[in-house]
């Protein structure tokens, strides 16, 4: 199996340096590298890779997030004061760029995007409403008033394949490109296990009762900051009743239909998820079983 997109960065996150202001400051010199972003999107070089600059390229009033060490150099990303953060609208150009980006660049960009976005959306304390400031190299924000400590959050999301009599259940949301189908997914709610979240989401969205949930793989997903938990399960009954608020359509696909879609053809039964999505990885895994 190929590596999962947005994972596997060679960056040393260097936690000890995050907690040592003097060592962190010593890295912020002419050798340091600044990941160049346009808002939350990456700047792409002629070779299709990420663009790096120096700290002199950072704008006035920007915070700098310490991404880690690469080749002994400190790597940083900029949080401009005017950046609002949040989920951006669908950007076809971004997805095309991501599809051709090397694994290492994807992983670095994914971590940077999640961190920068979190800082842009957490300038004020959730406890008292006062302003917060970046601390520990950007891996914490501290309230100026009540001294509450806030940390970058990751939201767990289950994404799952359901199998019934050799077929697999896929669905499509209205926001998907035409004919695109993917694995069903949903956030893990407070007080439930991964297995319970898989069963609940499948039943809520498609009316299918499942059993025997197993873990397959996970993926950090920086839109804005989720951990996709890929699972597989079985259903004894193939009847589908979709929640039209969540899905536009859901149906069972044969192994042959999935195999054809995964070749990239546009005249098959459906269009498969893009290669950088964990749903693509799950379908490839399923075909290889």
Q: What CATH number has the domain bearing residue 168?
A: 3.90.79.10
DSSP state letter for 2: P
pLDDT tier, 1 (very low <50, low <70, confident <90, very high otherwise):
low
Residues 79 and 182 in one domain: no
Q: What's the whole-number mean pLDDT along residues 81-89?
A: 77
Q: How many domains does the chain have?
A: 2
| Residue 88 clears pLDDT 70, i.e. is over it | no
Q: Work out the mean pLDDT of the chain and round it to a whole number.
A: 95
Whether 147 is in a domain gets the answer no
Give the domain extent around 197.
155-288
Angstrom CA distances, 1 to 4, 5, 26, 281, stand at 9, 12, 41, 8
Q: What's the whole-number mean pLDDT along residues 152-157?
A: 96
CA distance 140 to 30: 25
Number of other residues whose CB lies within 10 A of the CB of residue 133: 11
Q: Which pLDDT score is estimated for 89?
A: 63
Q: What's the whole-number mean pLDDT along residues 76-88?
A: 86
pTM higher than 0.85: yes
Single residue among 100, 121, 142 that ends a domain in this structure: 121
């Amino acid at each position: 199996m190929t590596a999962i997109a947005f994972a596997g960065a060679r960056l040393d996150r260097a936690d000890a340096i995050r907690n040592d202001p003097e060592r962190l400051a010593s890295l912020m010199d002419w050798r340091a590298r600044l990941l160049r972003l346009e808002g939350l999107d990456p700047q792409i070089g002629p070779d299709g890779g990420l663009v790096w600059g120096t700290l002199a390229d950072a704008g006035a009033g920007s915070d700098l997030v310490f991404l880690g060490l690469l080749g002994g150099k400190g790597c940083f990303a900029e949080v401009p004061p005017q950046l609002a953060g949040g989920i951006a609208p669908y950007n076809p150009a971004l997805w095309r760029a991501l599809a051709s980006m090397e694994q290492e660049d994807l992983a670095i960009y994914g971590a940077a995007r999640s961190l920068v976005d979190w800082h842009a959306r957490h300038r004020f304390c959730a406890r008292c409403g006062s302003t917060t400031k970046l601390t520990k190299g950007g891996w914490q924000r501290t309230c100026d008033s009540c001294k509450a400590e806030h940390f970058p959050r990751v939201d767990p999301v289950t994404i799952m394949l359901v199998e019934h009599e050799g077929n697999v259940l896929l669905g499509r949301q209205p926001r998907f490109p035409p004919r695109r189908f993917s694995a069903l997914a949903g956030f893990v709610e407070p007080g439930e296990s991964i297995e319970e979240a898989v069963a609940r989401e499948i039943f809520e969205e498609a009316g299918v009762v499942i059993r025997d949930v197993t873990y397959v793989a996970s993926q950090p997903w920086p839109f804005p900051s989720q951990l996709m938990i890929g699972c597989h399960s079985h259903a004894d009954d193939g009847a589908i009743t979709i929640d039209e608020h969540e899905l536009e359509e859901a149906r069972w696909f044969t192994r042959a239909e999935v195999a054809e879609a995964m070749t990239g053809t546009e005249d098959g039964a459906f269009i498969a998820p893009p290669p950088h999505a964990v749903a693509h990885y799950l379908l490839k895994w399923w075909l290889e079983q």
